[in-house]
Structure 1
């Protein structure tokens, strides 16, 4: 079984490209900083997070482009995919990515606004209504959301 579940913060805004061909498809790439559960060294120089490369396709990629921003904490699930290629110098490079199947917000907008690492932007953001559920902005179709 190949199943991965991670929660972490986006290290930067997702990078989105669109495939060419008969039907253009969004391909969003982003990196999650996932905290390690380990004791810190006394000098504090030990890395305390792993940086995991993620890729989301089609509607999940469009969702990431529209709503995900640097510093946001998100929860993802998907599968590990490995690969390799030969770079321009003739050196074989090995890759490991998480192919996103589900992704969702891990913090409420209120927690993010309290300075929890989330950086506000000028784009339309989803809003949280009084019962803690997200109010989906106009123009977002239900079947396009990456979570149930």
Structure 2
């Protein structure tokens, strides 16, 4: 079974690009705290590379920003490629199937003014990358195309 559930914060905004066929692909790193502290008493974190596809990638890019608290569900995938120096590079990343926004919309937008009156509105919003139900973002996200051949797609 290849199933992963993580909760963490975005280390930067989602990097959203489009394949030559117009398929959206988003990449991001999720900082996930470890359950224990180091010998110095400091909490350590792991930085997990993640990839999300299609409409879910556009939604995630539109509804989050650096520091947003997310829950993600997906599967691990490993791949290799040769870098410019001719060295073989091994990459393991989480292919995200679902994500959950774990903060209120006001907190994600950094709107402290509304947080005072809506301090108990924290909730979650769930998005399924494989669902036929699509969510329309408030504004379209304009990304730059990335050259990915259809044969390289994991589906």
2:100 corresponds in structure 1 to: 104
CA shift, 1:38, in A, is 1.2
Residue 95 in 1 paired to residue 91 in 2? yes
Taking structure 2 as the reference length, what is the TM-score of the superposition?
A: 0.70
In the comparison of the two structures, how many residue pairs are matched?
Answer: 123
- List, as ranges, runs of 4+ consecutive aligned residues in structure 1 with deviation greater than 6 Å: none
* Alignment partner, residue 5 of structure 1: 5
Tell me the SS of whatever aligns to 1:38.
strand
Separation in 1 of the partners of 2:10 and 2:19? 23
- 1:144 Cα deviation (Å)? 1.5
> Quick one: which of 26, 30, 33 aligns to 1:32?
30
CA distance in 1 between counterparts of 2:61 and 2:49 reads 16
Question: How far off is 1:120 after superposition?
Answer: 3.0
**Does residue 61 of structure 1 match 2:49?**
no
- Match of 2:5, SS state, is strand
Taking the aligned partners of 2:104 and 2:94, their CA distance within structure 1 comes to 24
Whole-Å separation in 2 of the counterparts to 1:4 and 1:32: 13
Cα 1:92–1:104, aligned 2, differ >3 Å: closer, same or farther?
A: same
1:1-148 alignment runs, 5 A limit: 1-21=1-21, 24-42=22-40, 44=42, 48-109=44-105, 112=107, 120=110, 143-145=133-135
Q: 1 or 2 for the larger relative contact order (CA 8 Å, sep ≥6)? A: 2
TM-score of the superposed pair, with normalisation by structure 1: 0.73
Q: Which residue number corresponds to residue 141 of structure 2?
A: none
RMSD: 2.8
Question: Secondary structure of 2:35's match?
Answer: coil
Extract unaligned runs of 5+ from structure 1. Answer: 113-117, 122-127, 136-141
Task: List runs of 5+ in structure 2 lacking aligned partners.
Answer: 112-117, 126-131, 136-155
Question: Are 1:7 and 1:73, in contact at CA under 8 Å, matched by a contact in 2?
Answer: yes
CA 1:133 to 1:107, structure 2 compared with 1: closer, same or farther past 3 Å? Answer: closer
Deviation at 1:133, TM superposition (A): 5.7
